[in-house]
Amino acid sequence: MTTTIYFSSNKLGDITNQQLQFMLDRFNLGKFISSDRTAYGVMQQTMFVSSTKGDFVLKGNPLFDAQFIEEKYFVDQLHQHTKLNVPSPYLIDKSDDIFGWRYSLMPRLPGSHINASDIQAQLTTMTDKERIAELMAQTLVELHSWKVKQYGEFDPKSYRVRPFEGSYRIWLYNTIRYWIHDATKYSSITSQDMDWVEHILQSSQHVFDSLHSPNFVMGDFKPENFLINKQNNEWKISGVFDFTTSYFGDGVADLPKMTAIYWMNGEKNVAQHFLSRYMILSEQQSFKERFKVHMLHHCVLLWGCAKATNTVTWEKDLSFAQWAERFTDSLI
């Protein structure tokens, strides 16, 4: 289930202070002080809760049955396999008697989101922006240092990696083709667009067929899912979280989302710095071919979502290939 894409969620709804105290009592976490909705919880599943024993994040009303089991597995393993600050211990209440749905509870990590106003006010120089890009690259390299033996998804029933059907390359290519065909429901995808997509896929097929070192892939590395702060005049990434869409594949797949965000914000130079730093730190082989396919995957999702929701921000007369080629070809 981890690679399934969710465009909406089950929201928390109304929650009383008494319910939150019942939750704290269940885990012996002190007396309730206050609560607040998270400003950057896009899926609206989260809430900050403070008690006499600390600050926590409540995540409830799961998207799918095993969401919190999967997230706990990834948090526990990343806590063990990396040096990153993840929300551990990750607690789960499998009962729904308090809120009417199951939930997880984790420590609130320090820092702010990179797109928060207080952080943006401090990122005034190119040196600062490039330093943050370097820290993100380092963070991804650390995440991807967790190696496994099998490409696939975590199976919460067996607690093992369930391999992708056929191969990782077949799964990835079929996923891209599925979403480009889905985009035809909301936009004009021409035969020339399809030919361009197939050319990229076929040109890189030998590269993906030769991959043999699966690693952890976060699946959703973006500003809302990590925190930064400044200590002794030095920027640090102080926390990484939200592993709902994590799996085991090619770590390069985690780069396109932040790269595209930089590009669309007019910060192409920072995007290139981010990519070059990752390449240096990770010493990846055939990086260009792999990045191009993963960026194509991200572009297909961006295009389809924007067209479906009428939120296109680019020139509307561009074909898919003309628009996507900016990302796949001009940044590496």
Rounded-to-integer distance, Cα 43 and Cα 59, Å? 10
Tally: H helices and E strands in the chain: 10, 11
The tokens for 66 are 């095993």
Work out the angle between the directed axes of helices 256-264 and 287-309 (0-180°, nearest 10): 60
Rounded-to-integer distance, Cα 215 and Cα 316, Å? 38
Contact predicate 245/219, CB 8 Å: yes
| Predicted pLDDT of residue 6 | 43
Phi, psi of 87 (to 5 degrees): -75, 80
* First-residue to last-residue Cα distance in the chain: 32
| Predicted pLDDT of residue 63 | 84
| Predicted pLDDT of residue 3 | 59
Contact predicate 315/274, CB 8 Å: no
The tokens for 87 are 């929300």
Bridge partner list, 106: 57
What is the reported pTM? 0.93
Rounded-to-integer distance, Cα 158 and Cα 27, Å? 27
HSE-CB at 152 with a 13 A cutoff on CA atoms is 15
The tokens for 7 are 């465009």
Residue 30, CA distances (Å) to 22, 60, 215 in order? 10, 20, 38
| Predicted pLDDT of residue 8 | 45
The segments of the chain whose pLDDT lies below 50 read: 1, 5-8, 42
Summarised one tens digit per residue, pLDDT across range 114-144 is: 999 989 999 889 999 999 999 999 999 999 9
Contact predicate 35/83, CB 8 Å: no
DSSP 4: -
The tokens for 262 are 């930089």
| Predicted pLDDT of residue 206 | 97
